[in-house]
Amino acid sequence: MHEFFAMSGYATYVWGSFGLTFAVLIANWWFAVRKHQATLQRLRRQNTAPDAAPASVVREVVT
């Protein structure tokens, strides 16, 4: 088991690469989900507000 984690001395590089990759993959998913929720929320607010500005004026969500 210890041998497996040691990665023949390259542990920092191997685990660093895998850790970073999965962190970025998860972040990607999180940002995409959050963007969709933010878009819906923004459009919802714009639809429900009684004195809402015309939809075309509302600026786009970035990210």
Partner 1 sequence: MWKWFHQFASPQHVYRLAGQWMPWLFGLAVVGLVVGTYGGLVRAPVDYQQKDAFRIIYVHVPSAYLSMLAYVVMAIASVIGLVWRMKLAHAVAVSAAPIGASFTFLALATGSLWGKPMWGTWWEWSDPRMMTELLLLFMYLGYMALRSSIEDRNRADRAGAVLAIVGVVNVVLIHYSVEWWSSLHQGQTVMNDDAVMPASMLTPLLINIVSFSLFFGALLFSRLRSEVLMRERNARWVRRLVNDSAAGSQKVERHA
Only one residue has tokens 């990210």, namely 63
# residues contacting partner 1 (CB under 8 A): 37
CB-side exposure of 26: number of CA atoms within 13 Å?
A: 6
Q: Which DSSP symbol is given to 50?
A: T
Interaction pattern, residues 1-40, with partner 1; x per rule: CB under 8 A = ---x--xxxx--xx-xxx-xx--xx-xxx-xxx-xxx-xx
CB of 41 to partner 1, least distance (A): 9
Q: Report how far apart, in Å, the C-alpha atoms of 1 and of each of 11, 39, 57 are.
A: 13, 47, 60
Residues that bind partner 1 (CB under 8 A): 4, 7-10, 13-14, 16-18, 20-21, 24-25, 27-29, 31-33, 35-37, 39-40, 43-44, 46-48, 55-56, 58, 60-63
